[in-house]
């Protein structure tokens, strides 16, 4: 008897979504539409800087000097996020999302990037780093040079990206023994069709549950607080899941408790700044 995973794989191979599946969506969800048609074209910049001594003189090993790193930068659908591709492996597998300095303590690289004024989030994947800045504070023209220097010095230092004993998020949703056929198909669609496309835009989507026809997903990286994330979720992800799996009624974004706490603290900080500015102008 075929397993649920095998059945879902056969179903995915059998069907091809119609061209108009994501019609009406904006930039991000239309990118999801192009997964079977063409690769999305983005504006990108490539910069090569000599090593900076921000960490330690680790760029010099004996008589040999580590070569300058060639870092490619890509825009994302989120105007407050940029995708940095250092040309070397960042994580062995999985992803890691840090929305505060306290959360970044398990990653030496993320902790250094949070030192940059205006940085609000750091997302790590196997071959790229997404940096998210404050919406109303910090400018890319000042953030990017510091990010380049930190990234290059970090990989020259030989430090681990994630501390030993800590781990990144799950590399894939992964079918478990107690998953029913519907959950197995949802996870496989996420891993094979949806997550790779979202990661191209500097983000990620993680499965958090399925109950009474509702799929619960966590948005990460450039997807976090993106103006187009709701459209992406509804017109992109939800449409695709509903096309393959009739049992799916709705897709809802969920946040971890830590994410909610960070959001609350950030709002309080903004309100405090606003009160201070108002007092100065009186």
Q: Average pLDDT in the 106-119 region?
A: 96
pLDDT surpasses 80 at 140: yes
Q: What is the percent of the chain where pLDDT is above 70?
A: 62
Domain limits, CATH 3.30.300.130, in the chain: 4-38+181-257
| pLDDT tens-digit readout, 178-213 | 678 999 999 999 999 999 999 999 999 999 999 999
Within 10 Å of residue 268's Cβ, how many Cβ atoms? Answer: 10
Q: pLDDT band at 38, cuts 50/70/90?
A: very low
What mean pLDDT comes out for the span 221-227?
85
Residues 92 and 102: their CA atoms lie apart, in Å, by 23
Q: Which two tokens stand for residue 239?
A: 């449409």
Of 36-40, 96-100, 226-230, which gets the smallest average pLDDT? 36-40
Under the banding of pLDDT at 50, 70 and 90, the label for residue 148 is: very high
Report the CATH fold assignment for 4-38+181-257. Answer: GMP Synthetase; Chain A, domain 3 (3.30.300)
User: Does residue 93 register a pLDDT over 60?
Assistant: yes
What pLDDT, in 10s, does the model give residues 49-76?
Answer: 444 434 434 443 433 334 567 999 999 9
Residue count (the chain): 282
Q: Is the four-CA dihedral 29, 125, 269, 146 of positive or negative sign?
A: negative
Report the SS3 class of residue 82. strand
Torsions phi, psi for 210 (to 5 deg)? -145, 125
CATH 3.30.1370.70, domain 44-157, yes or no: yes
> Which residue has 């969506």 as its token pair?
25
Banded pLDDT at 221 (limits 50, 70, 90): very high
Pairing relationship of beta strands 250-253 and 214-221 according to DSSP bridges: parallel
CATH 3.30.1370.70 domain span(s) along the chain? 44-157
pLDDT reading at 262 higher than 70: no
Q: Which residue has the higher pLDDT, 271 or 176?
A: 176
The residues, ordered by sequence, that sit 6+ positions from 178 with a Cβ below 8 Å of its Cβ are none
Phi, psi for 115 (deg, rounded to 5): -70, -20
At residue 260, the pLDDT reads: 47
| Cα–Cα distance measured from residue 231 to residue 223, given in angstroms and rounded to the nearest whole number | 11
């Amino acid at each position: 008897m075929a397993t649920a995973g095998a059945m879902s794989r056969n179903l995915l191979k059998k069907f091809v979504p119609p061209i108009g599946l994501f019609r009406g969506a904006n930039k991000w969800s239309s990118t999801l539409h192009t997964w079977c048609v063409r690769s999305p074209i983005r504006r990108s910049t490539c910069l090569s800087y000599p090593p900076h001594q921000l960490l330690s003189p680790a760029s010099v090993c004996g008589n040999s000097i580590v070569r300058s790193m060639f870092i490619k930068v890509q825009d994302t659908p989120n105007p407050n996020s940029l995708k940095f591709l250092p040309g070397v492996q960042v994580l062995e597998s999985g992803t890691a999302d840090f929305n505060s300095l306290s959360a970044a303590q398990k990653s030496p690289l993320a902790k250094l990037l949070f030192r940059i004024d205006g940085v609000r989030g750091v997302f790590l994947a196997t071959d790229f780093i997404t940096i998210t800045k404050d919406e109303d504070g910090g400018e890319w023209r000042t953030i990017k040079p510091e990010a380049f220097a930190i990234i290059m010095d970090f990989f020259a230092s030989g430090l681990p990206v994630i501390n030993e004993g800590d781990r990144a998020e799950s590399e894939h949703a992964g079918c478990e023994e107690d998953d029913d056929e519907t959950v197995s198909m949802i996870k496989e669609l996420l891993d094979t069709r949806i997550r790779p496309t979202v990661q191209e835009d500097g983000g990620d989507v993680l499965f958090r549950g399925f109950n009474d026809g509702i799929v619960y997903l966590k948005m990460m990286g450039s997807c976090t607080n993106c103006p187009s994330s709701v459209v992406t979720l509804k017109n992109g992800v939800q449409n695709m899941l509903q096309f393959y799996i009739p049992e799916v009624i709705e897709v809802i974004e969920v946040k971890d408790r830590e994410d909610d706490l960070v959001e609350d603290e950030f709002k309080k900080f903004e309100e405090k700044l606003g009160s201070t500015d108002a007092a100065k102008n009186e």
